Structure 1
Amino acid sequence: MKRRILSLLVLVVLSACASKKDILYMQDAIQQDNSKVNYESANIQPNDILKITVESTMPEAAIPYNKSTATGVQSQNLQVLQLDGYLVSTENTIKFPVLGDISTANKTTKELETEIKNQLTSGGHLTNPTVNIRLINAKVTILGEVNKPGTYSFTEQNITILQALGYAGDLTINGKREDILITREVDGVRKISHIDLTSASFMDSEFYFIKPNDNIIVNPNDTKVKTAGFVGNVGTILTIASLALSVTILLTR
């Protein structure tokens, strides 16, 4: 009887443990050594906020084509910049000074820079202008088994899924590393992908680089799911099992 109880305890403990292959990242990373990195620029999407700066050899001539803050002073506060930025409409357009509505559909920020520059030049507005565009409300939402779930803003043009998870303090020990869920909306189409962080092959995926408004969901692993019911964790299991063993020993004396 005692042997049966001890065997049961061993099985309970082993079933609650995660193996090394479930925890380690990029276990075949050597296969990606010296591989080429393909950087991608995301297309501008509705509700993006753009900071657009137009410069010219004659600074005074470019003033009508630039937004200014209410105080007339260039602010470095991100929230103020967002309020003064160009909000992309659901029809994929922005209202630009003097030029009017400009389409952003299927354009990256670089392509929109070229579009505005061409319109300023061809329309005789400015001679050889310089146009700089930055997306200033890029964000990613990370939920589930991470240490700091939430929505995080970033200003870099390219960040990887590993960097995004770093913002959230990495996965907890209970995160399902072989099945990270990513949802993405591009030009009105929703895409869903499953990423396996235990294999370095995800570095070749189109989802390796995070795009603005991506959602990352880290589901609990099997160990967490098994202990998520009435018995909450391994410590509780061991306490109950120890109590049951003590009672059994007393009854069988």
Structure 2
Amino acid sequence: MSKYFYCLLSVMLVFSCTSKKEILYLQDADQYSNKEISYVKSTIQPNDVLRINVSALIPETAIPYNKITTGTGGASVELMQLDGYLVSENLTIKFPVLGVLSVAEMTTQQFSEFLKHKLEDGGHLINPSVDVRLINAKVTILGQVGQPGTYSFTEQNITLLQALGYAGDLTINGKREDVKIIRLENGVQQVAHIDLTSADWLNGPFSFIKPNDTIIVDPNNPKVKSAGFIGNVGTVISVVSILLTTVVLITK
């Protein structure tokens, strides 16, 4: 009977084991220490919500160029749109006094400079200060993570690892060698494949997350193999017990 037991044990190990090499992050990280960081500058995209604040030496002169805030203080996109400027599919916004303005191929900082010069050159304000912020930045994380979902962030830059941290990290069943990032920017869709067990992506274009990115973590090979066969430890014990009992009865 012992040979049957060892056969069953071998099957269990094949379907349930994950090697150390498949789990550890950034296994060659020491090679990338002291590297200069290149921060990502995201261009403004359709459906972005911008908060634009215009100020001047004489505050009253800037009032016509600011939206009257509603004071809702809400965090949902619908409420933020009341105080912000929703970017259209044509990459335009409707700005007080100045009318329709294009934000195409501009970052928030570039549009801030553009608007400042437009107000000055048009004789609207003298030496104005313009602050532009994206207020609905979000990333969607799906698959084998602790808490899949869509997460908002207010920082100008967050890393891929920070984003995964929002979702509670990858589960033990997450495929770390091939994390997919789907990015839609300037009407072009990109799909990147990131190997988290290596550090060679740290200086690449996907080391920082851009607003509206989607991160997908597929199940690893042991999880795929066990799907519909051996789902968890309890199931394993039950299956082995039944098989051993059957073997004992047959061999009596």
TM value normalised by structure 2: 0.94
Identify the residue that residue 175 of structure 2 maps to in structure 1.
Answer: 176
Identify the residue that residue 145 of structure 1 maps to in structure 2.
Answer: 144
Matched residue SS, 1:67? coil
Identify the residue that residue 43 of structure 1 maps to in structure 2.
Answer: 43
Contact 1:43 1:108 in 2 (8 A): yes
Identify the residue that residue 22 of structure 1 maps to in structure 2.
Answer: 22
Aligned partners of 1:76, 1:29: CA distance in 2, in Å?
A: 42
Identify the residue that residue 90 of structure 1 maps to in structure 2.
Answer: 89
Identify the residue that residue 222 of structure 1 maps to in structure 2.
Answer: 221
Identify the residue that residue 10 of structure 1 maps to in structure 2.
Answer: 9
Shift in Å, 1:32: 1.4
1:33 aligns with 2:33: yes
Where in structure 2 are the equivalents of 1:52-71 lying within 5 Å? 52-70=52-70
Where in structure 2 are the equivalents of 1:75-114 lying within 5 Å? 76-79=73-76, 80-114=79-113
Structure 2 counterpart of 1:23, which letter?
A: I
Shift in Å, 1:234: 4.1
Aligned partners of 1:38, 1:241: CA distance in 2, in Å?
A: 53
Structure 2 counterpart of 1:202, which letter?
A: W
Contact 1:29 1:200 in 2 (8 A): yes
Aligned partners of 1:235, 1:223: CA distance in 2, in Å?
A: 16
Aligned partners of 2:42, 2:249: CA distance in 1, in Å?
A: 68
Identify the residue that residue 127 of structure 2 maps to in structure 1.
Answer: 128
Shift in Å, 1:6: 2.6
Deviations 1:189-237 (A, max 9, x none): 0000111111111212211100010001110011111111143234323
Contact 1:82 1:136 in 2 (8 A): no
Distance 1:224 1:18, change over 3 A: same
Aligned partners of 1:250, 1:66: CA distance in 2, in Å?
A: 83
Aligned partners of 2:233, 2:75: CA distance in 1, in Å?
A: 45
Contact 2:136 2:152 in 1 (8 A): yes
Aligned partners of 1:189, 1:100: CA distance in 2, in Å?
A: 28
Identify the residue that residue 212 of structure 1 maps to in structure 2.
Answer: 211
Identify the residue that residue 235 of structure 2 maps to in structure 1.
Answer: 236
Distance 1:78 1:244, change over 3 A: closer
Aligned partners of 2:72, 2:246: CA distance in 1, in Å?
A: 71
Percent of residue pairs bearing the same amino acid type: 57
Aligned partners of 2:97, 2:173: CA distance in 1, in Å?
A: 55
Deviations 1:103-144 (A, max 9, x none): 101000010001100100000000000000000011110111
Deviations 1:27-75 (A, max 9, x none): 11111111111002100001100000001000000000000124xxx56
Structure 2 counterpart of 1:26, which letter?
A: L
Contact 2:49 2:80 in 1 (8 A): no
Aligned partners of 1:91, 1:186: CA distance in 2, in Å?
A: 13
Shift in Å, 1:154: 0.6
Matched residue SS, 2:200? helix
